[in-house]
Amino acid sequence: MTLTFVLLTLAKILGFILVFCVILAAILTWVERKMSSIIQDRIGPNRAEILGFRAFGLFHPIADMIKSFTKEEFVPAGASKTLFFLAPAFALVPTLCAFAVVPFGPGDLVISNLDSGMLFVFAIMGFGIYGVTLGGWASASNFAMLGALRGAAQMVSYEVSMGLNVVGIFAVFGSVSLTAIVGAQGHLLWGWLPMWGIVVQPLGFVLFLVAAMAENKRAPFDLPEGESEIIGYFVEYSAMGFATFMLSEFLEVIVIACIAATLFFGGWQIPWLDPTGTAGGWITVAQVAFFAFKVLFLCWFQMLIRWTVPRFRYDQVMSLGWKVLLPLSLANILATAVVLALVV
């Protein structure tokens, strides 16, 4: 392990995760509020100002941040203090780790080119459940506890079908490494159609997106938290604890967008342009930018769903997960296997 490698990796972590993802997450809080407002024919936040500049309310995330840092960190009586403070970290860290294997661009523009790629993502995302259950349990609050139970059940249920959904992708592209999957999507079907995941696995994409949004606990699957009425597992959190939960939620939106873009939208691939990713120069820059565009689009798409669809009932969530998504995922795997067996 050379010093160059360490420095390079640190630079990539800094560039991709801190600059791209965390700042994007902060901006997403603004996007979420602004988007909900204009969908609802309102103006949205526009009052935070610096020296008279309002910048369409872009300073609100900064104001929120200052507020979160300066608010009193309230711990309920009877709460398990250590776990109470650890829980937000358990929610945040796995989400950040998931970015490690996402190829932001061709070649070395990935923090860690793991062969196990997608399996690593599943493994690390599975830890997110600890943040929820610990947060709910450590709060010493019945409402938080019930929210955590709902959250744990929902996340476990959807993790199953989320994993099975991408088996089809693995089968088609013959790898679980995200870099390899992206590289394989550079091929063309019948000489003209980019072999993106969404082309070869359309049902898989829909199922993956549904399962991933449920995994993320955002509307219409926001039963664990239900900020407007059924309070959830981080009801007792204030200040930075609360902000950390919210940040990890928005980071998960980005993770889902990254994974979906990588698996189903060709990652950094620009159709018919440099499928091997060896051109370098401006083409590489364009490829990274195109990946970023895909991620932003998918973030926007998730938010559009969030402000369109009303919340499910809890029994609906459960029956959707076990009775609809799981059989459909299995059917998808079967159909993929049959087609592959016939075609290849």
Partner 1 sequence: MVKVKVVERPPADLVVQSWLPELWKGMKVSGRHFFVNLLTQKGIVTSQYPEVKRAYPPRFRGKHRLMRREDGSVRCVACFMCSTACPADCISIVAGQRDDENEKFPVTFEVDFIKCVFCGMCEEACPCDAIRLDSGVHRAPAYTRKEELNGKEDLLSLGSLSVARQGGEFK
Residues lying near partner 1 in the complex (CB under 8 A) are found at 35, 38-43, 206, 304-305, 307-309
Nearer of residues 69 and 301 to partner 1, judged by Cβ:
301
Strands (E), the chain: 188-189, 193-194
**CB-wise, 15 or 202, nearer to partner 1?**
202
Give the nearest distance from C-beta 47 to partner 1 in angstroms: 10
Give min distance, CB of 44 to partner 1, in A: 8
Q: Looking at the DSSP assignment, which residues form a beta bridge with residue 53?
A: 50
Query: CA-CA-CA-CA torsion for 249, 203, 103, 115, nearest 10 degrees?
Result: 110
Q: In the complex, what is the shortest distance from the CB of residue 4 to partner 1, in angstroms, rounded to a whole number?
A: 45
Nearer of residues 19 and 43 to partner 1, judged by Cβ: 43
Distances (CA, A) of 257 to 31, 191, 203, 262: 15, 28, 17, 8
- Residues of the chain by 3-state class (helix, strand, coil), percent to 5: 65, 0, 30
**Whole-number Cα distances in Å, 291 to 246, 268, 297:** 25, 5, 10
Q: Is the Cβ of residue 36 or residue 113 nearer to partner 1 in the bound state? A: 36
Tokens of 200: 């070869």
Smallest distance from the beta carbon of 311 to partner 1, in angstroms?
Answer: 13
In the complex, least distance from residue 61 CB atom to partner 1, rounded to whole angstroms: 19
Q: Which residue, 130 or 205, is less far from partner 1 as judged by CB?
A: 205
Which residue is associated with the tokens 């776990």?
Answer: 83
Least CB distance to partner 1 at residue 42 (A): 5
Task: For residue 280, give Cα distances in angstroms to 103, 106, 107, 187, 290.
Answer: 15, 9, 9, 19, 15
CB nearer to partner 1: give 305 or 318.
305
Q: Nearest distance from residue 41's CB to partner 1, in Å?
A: 4
Phi, psi (degrees; rounded to nearest 5) at 137: -75, -40
Taking the C-alpha atoms of residue 314 and residue 300, their distance in angstroms, rounded to an integer, is 26
Minimum CB distance to partner 1 smaller for 195 or for 210: 210
Phi-psi region of 170 (alpha: psi -120 to 50; beta: other; left: phi over 0): alpha
**Nearest approach, Cβ of 59 to partner 1 (angstroms)?**
17
Residue 143, class by beta-carbon neighbours within 10 Å (0-12 exposed, 13-18 middle, 19+ buried)? middle
Nearer to partner 1, 55 or 304 (CB): 304
Straight-line distance from the first to the last Cα atom of the chain, in angstroms, rounded to the nearest whole number: 41
